[in-house]
Structure 1
Amino acid sequence: MQIEVTTKNMTFLECFSSETRIQIIELLDAGPMNIKQLAERLLLSSAIVTKHIQKLENAGIVSCKSIAGRRGTQKICSLQLNQAVLQFKTRKQDVLANTISIPVGQYSAFDVKPACGMASRTQIIGLIDDPRYFADPQHVQANHLWFSSGFVEYRIPNFLNSNQKLRSLEISLEICSEASGCNETWPSDIHFYINDVPIGMWTCQGDFGKQKGAYTPDWHNCGTQYGVLKIITVNERGSYLDGIRIADVTSSDLGMAYGKDVSFRIASLEDAQNCGGINLFGKHFGSYNQDIEITMHYNN
């Protein structure tokens, strides 16, 4: 995410004027916590912590979910934002943006190997470890999917006009490895492609399931619970993951064409050094209540 340092973004920028809010971000970096837990760690009252959380939530930095507890409800807080780039200088030329969300189950192509499966918000779709069900029309309802090797590919609508040029493509998604049950030290080399162009690889360090995902349904009480939020950016300078350069591929190398959709493939290759599979999380699953978010920045 890019944030212009302007007065219109004061809600976001003011979040970093408080040492307490910075401490909250540090605590949530280790995993979701409720208000009481945060208050105990910070030696503050729950009322004060709640006010700080509200400010972070309004800025999109933290997300919260109310769940039933032993004594009423409790508010579970998680980091929603993984990275933000402050932009101090803005170009004079107008830069436009188009953002869409694609549910994780709305893939257009796949080739997966067991262990594999899909889950909607309410139930498992088809049979676990049977790749045939990835072709079931109900796959579009999936909010969580996993496979040990192979790929899923998504079609991104391209709404750019013939006189418009892509400046950058940003993709945000929650993802992790896929182990039997879960294994938080299970590395997986995950490869990303846009229009069949390899834009880089990231090694996830584990399949996370020791604690409940902030949004994972209660009925899904075993195995993988959540992933990590990663932001892929391809711009005029190269390809980046969370701001770290992963390839020399630029936006002009992607073969964007007027009237042609963009393909986005996520793969775990069988011949990779760490073929550790993939878990993908959408809304109502994991620790970030979002689908695959794509933003195209462009100008005329």
Structure 2
Amino acid sequence: MPQVFCYIYYYNNCCNKTEVFIIKILQLTMDEAVEISKVISNEHRMNILKILSTGPHNVNELSEKLGLPFSTTAVNVKKLEDVNLIITELVPGRGTQKVNSKNYDRIIIDLFTEDVEKDKNVITIDMPIGEYVDCQAEPSCGLVSESDYIGIQDDPRSFYEPGRREAQLLYFRVGYVEYRYPNRIPYGNIASEIQFSAEICSEAPYHKLDWPSDITVWVNDIEIGIWTSPGDFGGERGFNTPDWWLTYFTQYGLLKHWKINSNGSFIDGVKISEVTVNDLNINEKPFISLRIGVKRDAVNAGGLNLFGPNFGNYRQGIIMNVHY
């Protein structure tokens, strides 16, 4: 039976800065998730939530703004209450009146199926994008934290600033970044599969949806394959992108999954090379290196953007999973 997790976010606007916190995670049954989906698949109810995002309203105010009869508005408010998407409180006014408020700012639903017994022989490490050990970057290039630029835009020297560890977005037109993950495979065991996932896209001036870029990945200095990013995505704010970052800049990427096992190397399940996990000599080093970059002689040298958990659409850095 698939499980459904709803991640509930709280937005705190203070001092010209928006802070985002995950305040609770709801684990729902499939039936509960279906009921929520049914309730919000209605234009009137979505409009009610949109109005309530500006502040609390009573049913009369909602009815007036929606241009709907009071009775119709009340029915839709009740349906939203039943699935806990809004709350109703009694507040003093002209007498006591019921005022409705939006309960959540955002709900993200992940659907997946898990085996009852998880694979215990797996190591997972989420690497911050600023924790690279080597790099080469050519303009346009830069580093961005959650609140400001790091160093100077389009200056490769900024990639060596101590503050790079706070990076939530890094970008360059040509070059690479290399990470080294600790090798935690217990002695006497061997790796059967290694996986990486990262939010990534091309790098264009401002943004450009049609801007292909050939992005290459190396593991332990061995090239495992090339993926062509279709574009640099902007114009619509990423779920986690801070408010100060202008919408016509890069906003989010695509979550890509690389996998190397005994059958070869894959991206999102599609085979990209014959390099196997045995070719990587994982047990011979105290670390596992990952290099992501764009070659100078690439057919599509369209740059690269890498996203951290507080930029883009996915709350993660560069995740490595090693199965042994």
Q: Which interval holds the TM-score relative to the shorter structure?
A: 0.7 to 0.9
Quote the residue 1:214 is aligned against. Answer: 239
1:203 is aligned with what amino acid? T
Is 1:179 aligned to residue 204 of structure 2?
yes
Q: Does 1:264 align with 2:290?
A: yes
Could you tell me how far 1:259 is from its partner in structure 2?
4.8
Whose relative contact order is higher, 1 or 2, with alpha carbons under 8 Å and at least 6 apart?
A: 1
User: Which residue of 2 is the match for residue 274 of structure 1?
Assistant: 300
Q: What is the CA distance between 1:131 and its match in structure 2?
A: 0.5
Deviations 1:77-113 (A, max 9, x none): 45768xx68779x99xx75011111101111100010
Cα distance between partner residues in 1 of 2:193 and 2:303: 28
Two-structure CA RMSD over aligned residues (Å) = 3.4
Q: Which residue does the alignment assign to 1:247?
A: 273
Q: Residue 323 of structure 2 aligns to which amino acid in structure 1?
A: H
Describe the SS at the equivalent of 1:246.
strand
2:160 matched to which residue of 1?
135
Which one of 285, 288, 310 corresponds to residue 284 of structure 1? 310
- Paired AA for residue 282 in structure 1: G
What residue number does 1:294 align with? 320
1:158 and 1:261 in contact (8 A); partners too:
yes
**Which amino acid counterpart does residue 112 of structure 1 have in structure 2?**
A
C-alpha separation between the residues in 2 aligned to 1:267 and 1:103? 16
Aligned partner of residue 132 in structure 1, secondary structure: helix
Local SS of the residue matching 2:252: coil
For the pair shown, which has the larger CA radius of gyration, 1 or 2?
Answer: 2
TM (norm. structure 1) is 0.74
Q: Distance between the aligned counterparts of 1:279 and 1:16, measured in 2?
A: 36
Query: Aligned partners of 1:49, 1:236: CA distance in 2, in Å?
Result: 47
Change (3 A) 1:49 1:143: farther
- CA distance in 2 between counterparts of 1:279 and 1:118 reads 10
CA distance in 1, matches of 2:318, 2:155: 24
Q: Which runs of 5+ in 1 are unaligned?
A: 28-32, 38-42, 52-70
- The answer (yes or no) to whether the contact 2:178–2:290 under 8 Å persists in 1 is yes
Provide the C-alpha distance between the structure 2 equivalents of 1:177 and 1:221, rounded to a whole number of angstroms.
Answer: 18
| SS state at 2:158 partner | helix
Contact 2:4 2:110 in 1 (8 A): no
Amino acid across the alignment from 1:221:
L
Can you give the 5+ residue segments of structure 2 that lack an aligned partner in the other structure? 6-27, 51-75, 86-100
How far the C-alpha of 1:75 sits from its partner, in A, is 2.3
Question: Structure 1 segments of 4 or more deviating over 3 A?
Answer: 9-12, 14-21, 33-37, 43-51, 71-74, 76-81, 84-88
Which residue number in structure 2 is paired with residue 110 of structure 1? 135
Query: Equivalents in 2 of 1:248, 1:17: separation in Å?
Result: 43
**Which residue number in structure 1 is paired with residue 258 of structure 2?**
232
Match of 2:190 in 1: 165
Identity across aligned pairs (percent)? 38
C-alpha deviation, 1:237, in angstroms: 1.4
Q: What is the TM-score with the length of structure 2 in the denominator?
A: 0.69
Kindly tell me the number of residue pairs found equivalent between the two proteins.
255
